[in-house]
Amino acid sequence: MKKLLNNPTNVVEEMLEGYVKAHPDYIKQLPENQRSLVTVRETRDDKVGILIGGGSGHEPGFMGYVGEGMADGVAVGNIFASPSPDPILEVTKAIDKGAGVAYLYGNYAGDVMNFGMAAEMADLEEEIQVQAALATDDVASAPKEEQEKRRGIAGELFIFKAAGAAAEFGYDLENVIRVAEKANANTRSMGVGLSPCSLPQTGEPSFELGENEMEIGLGHHGEPGIEKGPLETADHVAERLVKDILEDMPINQGEQVAVLVNGLGSTPRMELYLIYRRVEQLLAERGIVVYRSYVGDYITSLEMGGCSVTVMKLDEELKQTIDHPVNCPMFVQK
């Protein structure tokens, strides 16, 4: 796959340089690690700090979500790889306002290890209280009985948003984490992959699929899904994804949900709106009300083809968090 690159070894550093230059009114790098980015705004004393992070290649996730209503800082990893503990710790120190820091990230072994080490260091060296909430929204990645083994994918957007708003509301660390965990417990995602991406360093496709094949449940680093099959219509794909979500998390008639149709990188918005159209119909048939919807590229996998559907069940508290305004370089909500 053709890419606009310089030296592939420096791609993350160059991306960050361009990013900070493009949005100096939003974000800055910290002095010790170029991979440590924090908001430029002054946050309130006693506000719980929100720290997100993960590998690069998922833009707007994660660096795009630092700002009002979302995260206060982000630790940036290599492409599809966890950030190391150093930048996580540096961001932690920068955003702690005396009320502790919430770590929000997807459930991947590397992230669990590195964020865990940083949390320990923050506690021992800096006496900063850290608690973590992990995203495990990907239905395809483990059976229902082993939900704690599931990966985090596009539903991370809702978890960041819920916790980010809770922190702005003045919730303490325990309650910010409670809201993030509730958001995660109420959120399910299912994706479909149509075409691979390639890493800048290798240029090799991240997985193989036949010319008319798709893969249900593909992970957003190309992890194998549940099954491969022939490419179906947009309506059939939407039906399959919604079916798997609702079987895993039953939703009663009259309940309200937030919906995200997320593009993986190279899927036109036109196709995402076709998927949304059928998702909304399927929910409406069951008397489920879409309270708010998002359609676009929110957590990508470089130029991967395909999309995911995410549904979050809402109560009054989650509705307040989803309505709360956001002002980040790659995500603004009035």
How many angstroms separate the CA atoms of 63 and 76, rounded? 7
Number of residues that bind its own copies (CB under 8 A): 58
205 binds its own copies (CB under 8 A): no
CB count, 10 Å around CB of 202?
A: 9
Tokens at 42, concatenated: 């002054």
How many angstroms separate the CA atoms of 83 and 118, rounded? 10
Indicate the residue among 80 and 105 with the shorter CB distance to its own copies: 80
Q: Which of 31, 202, 253, 334 binds its own copies (CB under 8 A)?
A: 334
Q: Which of 49, 64, 219, 222 binds its own copies (CB under 8 A)?
A: 64
Phi, psi of 152 (to 5 degrees): -95, 135
Closest approach of its own copies to the CB of residue 23, in Å: 8
Closest approach of its own copies to the CB of residue 103, in Å: 24
The residue type of 76 is V
Q: Are 215 and 204 in contact (CB under 8 A)?
A: no
Look up residue 226 and give its DSSP letter.
S
Indicate the residue among 149 and 236 with the shorter CB distance to its own copies: 236
The interface mask with its own copies, positions 174-203, x = CB under 8 A, is --------------------xx-x------
Q: Which of 6, 202, 252, 253 binds its own copies (CB under 8 A)?
A: 6
Phi, psi of 294 (to 5 degrees): -130, 130
Phi, psi of 221 (to 5 degrees): -115, 15
Q: Which helix (H) or strand (E) holds 277?
A: helix 269-285
Q: Which of 102, 134, 249, 302 binds its own copies (CB under 8 A)?
A: 302
Using CA atoms, how far residue 129 sits from 97, 101, 186, 210, in Å, is 11, 6, 26, 49
Q: Given the DSSP bridges, would you call strands 187-195 and 213-216 parallel, antiparallel or unpaired?
A: antiparallel
Q: Is 221 a catalytic residue?
A: yes
Q: Is 23 a catalytic residue?
A: no
Q: Which of 112, 117, 185, 234 binds its own copies (CB under 8 A)?
A: 234
Query: Which residues in 236-295 contact its own copies (CB under 8 A)?
Result: 237, 265-271, 273-278, 280, 293, 295
Indicate the residue among 76 and 91 with the shorter CB distance to its own copies: 76
SS3 84: coil
* Sites of contact with its own copies (CB under 8 A): 2-6, 11, 14-19, 21-23, 56-57, 59-60, 64, 194-195, 197, 212, 214, 231, 233-235, 237, 265-271, 273-278, 280, 293, 295-297, 300, 302-303, 305, 307, 327, 330, 332-334
